[in-house]
Amino acid sequence: MSEFVSGSLTARNIHLSFGSNRVLRGIDLHVEKGSTASVIGPSGSGKSTLLRVMNRLIEPDQGDILLDGRSVLKDNPDELRRRIGMVFQQFNLFPHKTVAENVSLALRKLRGMSKEQARDEALAQLELVGLKHKADSRPANLSGGQQQRVAIARALAMKPEVMFFDEATSALDPELVKGVLALMADLAKGGMTMVVVTHEMGFSRNVSDSVTFMDAGVVVETGPPEQLFTAPRTERLKGFLSDVL
């Protein structure tokens, strides 16, 4: 896997409420350039929302977000999102476009590439995820694992500095999970800065450089995987781990 031009990402004291529901209550998260942070925690703890706040799909009520040490809250949010790739639980491929068109759409419309140029680049990205031969298929004719790999190629095509994964393997059949996790591990090794919201404790423990445990909109514990998995300090993390492991 080739080298990436990645950057560090920091979230500082992020607050977000939906009406009276306080979803995020002062979240801090720091991901070093080229490292992988996994975020674990029970459903409804605010993990997925945190990702959407960090790429400003949702604007925070309070707090700051820094990409490569510089605050991005005053930037154009559309331009910020071009620098952060995102992969979703439900893949969210465009069903009315071919696999190659899924990957090349943003290259053509946002990077201003010609049709041929964008297709060549899309094919190169598809080759990286092992799906060049499916370039002219529709997403519906691919397995879940293949669809998710296309979604990863689509995000990588924009040459992002950071990649977000929002429970990227939760919707996959068990036998397809491994291939997608292996691809994510390759990206991590290749030096991509990644934030991975996941229920895959194996991935969290073996691939990520740091683990953050969230519950009810706050960070309960954060640290290296060995520390969190072998010596959890809080009752809440102990309880969570005994439920999922």
Partner 1 sequence: MDIFKLLSDTFLDWKAIGEVLPKMFAVGLPNTLVLAVTSGVIGTVLGMVLALMGISRNAAARWIARIYTDVLRGLPPILTILVIGLGFGPIFRQVTGSSSPYPMAIAALSLMSAAYIGEIFRSGIQSVDKGQLEATRALGFGYGPAMRLVVVPQGVRRVLPALVNQFIALIKESSLVFMLGLLATEREIFQIGKDAASNSGNLSPYVAAAVFYLALTVPLTHFVNWIDRRLRSGRPEKKEPDEAAAVVGKGAQA
Query: In Å, how far are 42, 142, 244 from 48, measured between CA atoms?
Result: 11, 26, 18
Q: Could you give the angle at the alpha carbon of 216 between the alpha carbons of 212 and 217, nearest 5°?
A: 65
**Whose Cβ is closer to partner 1: residue 50's or residue 211's?**
50
How far apart are CB 242 and partner 1 at their closest, in Å? Answer: 33
How far apart are CB 156 and partner 1 at their closest, in Å? Answer: 11
**Whose Cβ is closer to partner 1: residue 93's or residue 100's?**
93
Find how far residue 29's CA is from the centre of its chain: 14
Quick check: 129 and 51 in contact, CB under 8 A? no
Rounded Cα–Cα distance for residues 101 and 82 (Å): 17
Give the residue ranges of DSSP H helices in the chain.
47-54, 77-82, 99-109, 115-128, 144-156, 174-189, 201-206, 225-230, 235-244
**Whose Cβ is closer to partner 1: residue 56's or residue 229's?**
56
**Whose Cβ is closer to partner 1: residue 70's or residue 109's?**
109
Tokens found for residue 169: 């393997």
How far apart are CB 94 and partner 1 at their closest, in Å? Answer: 6
The backbone torsions φ and ψ at residue 28, rounded to the nearest 5 degrees and listed phi first, read -120, 135
The closest alpha carbon to 149, from 87, 193, 191, belongs to 87
**Whose Cβ is closer to partner 1: residue 33's or residue 81's?**
81
**Whose Cβ is closer to partner 1: residue 105's or residue 216's?**
105
How far apart are CB 232 and partner 1 at their closest, in Å? Answer: 33
How far apart are CB 83 and partner 1 at their closest, in Å? Answer: 8
Burial of 37: CB neighbours in 10 Å, binned 0-12, 13-18, 19+? buried
How far apart are CB 216 and partner 1 at their closest, in Å? Answer: 24
**Whose Cβ is closer to partner 1: residue 149's or residue 154's?**
154
Number of other residues whose CB lies within 10 A of the CB of residue 67: 20
Catalog residues that contact partner 1 under the rule CB under 8 A. Answer: 55, 57, 78-79, 81-82, 84-86, 88, 90, 92-96, 105-106, 109-110, 133, 137-138, 140-141, 151, 154-155, 158
Number of other residues whose CB lies within 10 A of the CB of residue 105: 16
